[in-house]
Amino acid sequence: MAYQDVASVGIHGDLPGRRTAPALSPTLSSAALPAAAADTRSAVSWGAVLAGAAAAAALSLILLILGVGLGLSALSPWAREGISASTFGVGTILWVTLTQVAASGMGGYLAGRLRTRWADTAGDEVYFRDTAHGFLAWAVASLATAAVLGSAIGGIVGAGAQAGGAVVATGATSAATAVAAGGAAETVSYHADALFRRDAAATAGSTDAPPLAEVNRILATASRGAALTPDDTRYLGQLVAQRTGLSQPDAEKRVSDTYTRLQTALNDAQARARDAADKARKASAYASMWLFISLLAGAFVASLSATWGGRQRDL
């Protein structure tokens, strides 16, 4: 009886001496091994992402160069010719948005169309992966474009920061200091020269050269304060009277009138400088806002196009 039990173990398929192979455990079945190996692979097809990003960056650069050419051809240095500044700004915004949408759509579609086929994957998971591939392609392309055009983007942000700082500084300083770089020194010198102008019929007065350097310092110092002091007015009146033949009261009146005109000119220059700085700040803020909107639209279009390309890939 024992011999039959042993023999029955060694008999398989009516062939004596052939042992049966041990049965595989349900957890180690042949069907489970490839599935387990497949689950360890990355769900991101980086080759497709980089290909889509390269296409998007190249198309974005080409369209940007085309836009610069079209914009320069529409501008004109002559008055009342070419497009206006507002039209140019709106056209620039529309072209940047169109460039971002077209380039991102192309890159996202290629990233979805060139990715590997995901077998035995749920439809929702495939949709998510395609969306992620499009977003990654847009992100890589945006970073590459920013690296190439970093100076231009930095110029937009930097101009806004400098303009905002100029507005703050202009509001905190005096008129002469705020517009010193814009010609305040020349304005003071012009009014100092005007003090010593002589009438064509005047014969009296000294022919010595007026002390313009000293007068410039007096006027520049007075422009930082509230008004010209009486002592400075009297002293400048004496200098004017000596070299123009005017009486002392008339000379002092000329000094007061000239100083009033100087203050008006400096205040006007300050107002123009603040207005220009405020316009530059607003322009930089609008440019940054629309650049953000165009990039956001590009990210959406890239993700959507990747899902379309993914569907075409799985057909």
> Does any domain span residue 299?
yes
Read off the pLDDT of residues 162-215 as tens digits, 9 standing for 90 and up: 544 444 444 434 444 444 444 677 788 877 877 777 765 555 556 667 788 888
Residue 279 maps to a domain: no
Number of domains in the chain: 1
Q: What pLDDT score was predicted for residue 182? A: 46
% of the chain beyond a pLDDT of 70: 72
Q: How far apart are CA 72 and CA 66, in angstroms?
A: 10
Boundaries of domain holding 302 = 46-76+83-150+292-314
In order of 77, 131, 224, the CA distances from 98 in angstroms are: 27, 21, 51
At residue 8 the predicted structure's pLDDT band, cuts being 50, 70 and 90, is very low
What is the mean predicted confidence (pLDDT) over 112-116? 90
At residue 52's C-alpha, the angle toward residues 46 and 57, to 5°, is 120
Binned at pLDDT 50, 70 and 90, residue 10 comes out as very low
Whether pTM > 0.75 for this model: the answer is no
> Does residue 228 lie in a domain region?
no
With respect to residue 57, please indicate whether it lies within any of the assigned structural domains.
yes
Q: Structure tokens of 61?
A: 């650069």
CB 144 within 8 A of CB 57: yes
Please give the average per-residue pLDDT across 271-286, as a whole number: 88
Lowest mean pLDDT among 73-77, 119-123, 205-209, 235-239: 205-209
Smallest CA-to-CA distance from 278 within 196, 189, 168 is with 168
Length of the chain: 315
Closest CA to 179 of 305, 299, 274, 278: 274
Q: What is the mean pLDDT of the chain?
A: 76
| 270 within a domain of the structure (yes/no) | no
Q: Of 210, 215, 204, whose CA–CA distance to 246 is shortest?
A: 204
Q: Which range has highest mean pLDDT (183-197, 202-216, 281-295, 297-311)?
A: 297-311
Residue 99 lies in a domain: yes
- In this prediction, residue 193 carries a pLDDT of 78
Q: Smallest Cα–Cα separation from 188: which of 210, 145, 220?
A: 220
CA distance linking residue 9 with residue 11, whole number of Å: 6
C-alpha distances in Å from residue 190, one per residue of 96, 162, 233, 250: 47, 30, 18, 20
pLDDT at 174 (0 to 100): 42
Q: What is the pLDDT of residue 230?
A: 86
Confidence of residue 250 (pLDDT cuts 50, 70, 90): confident
pLDDT at 227 over 60: yes
pLDDT at 155: 55
Determine, yes or no, domain membership for 60: yes
pLDDT value at position 152?
A: 56
Assigned domain for 174 exists = no
Conformational region of residue 297, where left means phi above 0, alpha means psi within -120 to 50, and beta covers everything else: alpha
Q: pLDDT band for position 12 (50/70/90)?
A: very low
